[in-house]
Structure 1
Amino acid sequence: MNTKGKLIIIGGAVDKGSFTESSFDKDVSKNMNFFEKGIIKRIIDESKHKENSRIEVITTASKIPREVGPEYVKAFQYLNASNVDVLHIERREQAGEEEVLDRIKAADIVMFTGGDQLRLSSILGGSKLHDIILDKYKNEHFIYAGTSAGAAAASNNMIYQGSSHEALLKGEVKITSGLGLIDDVIIDTHFVQRGRIGRLFQAVVGNPKVLGIGLGEDTGLLITNNTKMEAIGSGLVILVDGREIKDTNLTQVELGQPISINHLVTHVLSIHDTFDLSTFKMHIHSSQYI
């Protein structure tokens, strides 16, 4: 069954312009690449009503929501999307309030900020707000956009803990249920900058049916119909495919011991490259062989 909504997951540190700097307007030329080609511009362009789309920024994952929210409002407004506001949902009961639900029902885009994805899933998971988002994503021309924690929480499986340098020690990577917009993938963020490839390796070796997605900073994936993925932004997307794993010691070693994996396949995507989740085929947009 087709999914009408679009999913835009971002690795964190979205280049949205340094709006906290007083000299921003004078230095705007330094940010023009973002404004013309960047991720937030793409979110607007993919939405139902473009610059007139109703946008709700949800700061639940953040520990500094009152600072983060206005940054995103300014970023959208600078790109001529002025129908934008912030929802500060800090307790579970707020996710069932009529005013909050009415605002989500009216939204064309929800933008989940970074922070702690376990905070996001534990506050919103199973709420009426969560149900509305899932229904809109399935049945309407609606965009779920999430950066960092907002991206990690989008899938059914969610990494919520695990140090980078110990990630290939058995049991060091902690996984729970996310918000469930997309199945059979697991998403990690700040991927290249924080050296988190080992976290995805352990997540995938435990269930090779799941495709690992590692998102670099200011880098994302536009996912349509829960199958076609297009890399957007300025960095890299790493995909970890475990379907061809030939051997591992995962079930033989004790907790805290190193994991061995034989024949784990990886792909590297950059801007405009695509990957089809239904066929597991990658297309390089600027291939040297075309």
Structure 2
Amino acid sequence: MPRGPLMIIGGAEDKLRKRTILTDFVTASGGADARIAVIPTASSLGPEVVEVYDALFRKLGAADVVAVRPETRQDSHDPELVARLERATGIFMTGGNQLKLSSIIAGTPLADALMEARERGAVIAGTSAGASIQSSHMVAFGGPGSTPKQRMTQVAAGLGLLEQTVIDQHFDQRNRYGRLLMIVSQSPQLLGMGVDEDTSAIVEDVDGHDVLRVVGRGAVTIFDPTHIVTNAYEARRSAPLLSSGVVLHVLPAGATFDLTTRTFVPATTLVHDADEAQEQAEASHDLRRLARDIAAADASPSALRRRLARSRKKPDTAPVPATSTDPHMDGAPS
């Protein structure tokens, strides 16, 4: 069985209108058969945030929603909480303080159960803090700003659901470009991923590759420092960092990116039926004809478009059939 997808949500996902991201999560988790476990540990509003997501997921059709709320590392060894993750088809980690979340669950049986859930095909989703913790390296805390500066953020270990990556959230809304650039400048083996609010980076296993697809209202920003030139190893505290040669990818909804090869995946256009194929062929023919007419007549494109439209509106004139001497063609009995 292929590994389950990751849903890396940049925070502030829509809960009132279309709820696109949350709907996708419930659907991927099994729809009417979905058994969802909510981990609210990062939040200071534990019971309240569980109530919110419980109501949302049930409204979106989930069969069952349970809370898995460890408050200490000892709680993360509780067999009952571990069993709840083992039964889940979808696991959702809420926002809050990602350092609190990692301090309580990382390296415990609960974290092991979460990793195993993905291996058996369960969906692992997280918003805000729950997004950051999914990567191998995690932004613990830090300040905003567009310019990368020495020591502007701190890094801690994440759960490692997504290897060789560091994830930041609320990315554009809180101007977190600089701190993500700082991290990849200091650790150029990492791929930097910044996810905007109400946006999800869905990572799926496709033929052994981690392939990212973007859903939502914002964008996912990728920093690839493979060929970076930097002075991060010698810059003084708070000094701006040299970060040259970082490849930038800004991926809006619908875009696809191969995280394994670090390459953008162009969209492909599929023709699903013969009528659509015929329409595309006619459109292509019309465009070629229009280009030839412009070149030959030196006419304006608008005039030629009008001429083409008139010619396409003319009714077909059926040829008058010739008189046949064949008795079978003029209605004579055979």
- TM class by shorter chain equals 0.7 to 0.9
Deviation at 1:55, TM superposition (A): 0.2
What's the TM-score, normalizing by structure 1? 0.87
1:90 Cα offset (Å): 1.2
Q: Given the alignment, which residue of 201, 205, 229 partners 1:221?
A: 201
Partner of 1:258: 240
Structure 1 residue aligned with 2:66: 85
Change (3 A) 1:184 1:89: same
Work out whether residues 149 and 179 of structure 2, in 8 Å CA contact, stay in contact via their aligned partners in 1.
Answer: no
Answer with 254-263 or 228-237: which moved more: 254-263
CA contact (8 A) 1:113 1:146 kept: yes
The Cα shift of 1:283 comes to 2.9
Counterparts of 1:8-87 in structure 2, within 5 Å, are 8-17=7-16, 31=17, 33-34=18-19, 38-47=20-29, 49-87=30-68
Is the 8 Å Cα contact of residues 70 and 86 (structure 1) preserved in structure 2?
no
Structure 1 distance, partners of 2:35, 2:9, is 20
Query: Number of residue pairs matched?
Result: 266
Structure 2 residue identity aligned to 1:153? I
Match of 1:147 in 2: 127
Equivalent residues of 1:92, 1:123 under 8 A apart = yes
Structure 1 residue 177: Cα displacement: 0.4
Contact preservation (8 Å) 1:269, 1:284: no
Q: How far, CA to CA, are the matches of 2:233 and 2:172 in structure 1?
A: 28
Contact 2:26 / 2:61 at 8 angstroms: preserved in 1? no
Structure 1 counterpart of 2:76, which letter?
A: A
Counterpart for residue 104 of structure 2 = 123
**What 5-or-longer segments of structure 1 have no aligned partner?**
18-30
5+ unaligned residues in a row in structure 2: which ranges?
270-334
Amino acid in the other structure paired with 1:41: T
Of the structure 1 ranges 208-217 and 77-86, higher mean CA displacement relative to structure 2 is found in: 77-86
Alpha-carbon distance change, 3 to 167 in structure 1, aligned in 2, over 3 angstroms: farther
Which residue pairs with 2:319 in the alignment? none
Q: How far did residue 173 of structure 1 move?
A: 1.4
CA shift, 1:167, in A, is: 6.2
Render the CA deviation track for 1:156-193: whole Å, top value 9, x for unaligned. Answer: 10011110138622112100101111111100000010
Q: Tell me if structure 1 keeps the 8 A contact 2:231–2:241.
A: yes
The one-letter code matched in structure 2 to 1:159 is V
Match of 2:90 in 1: 109
In the aligned structure 2, how far is the partner of 1:84 from the partner of 1:222? 22
Query: What is the one-letter code of the residue matched to 1:61?
Result: A
1:239 aligns with 2:222: yes
SS in 1 for 2:151: coil
Q: Aligned partner of 2:214: which letter?
A: A
Tell me which residue corresponds to 2:75: 94
1:210 aligns with 2:190: yes
Larger Rg: 2
Equivalence for 1:283: 265
| 1:160 counterpart = 2:140 | yes
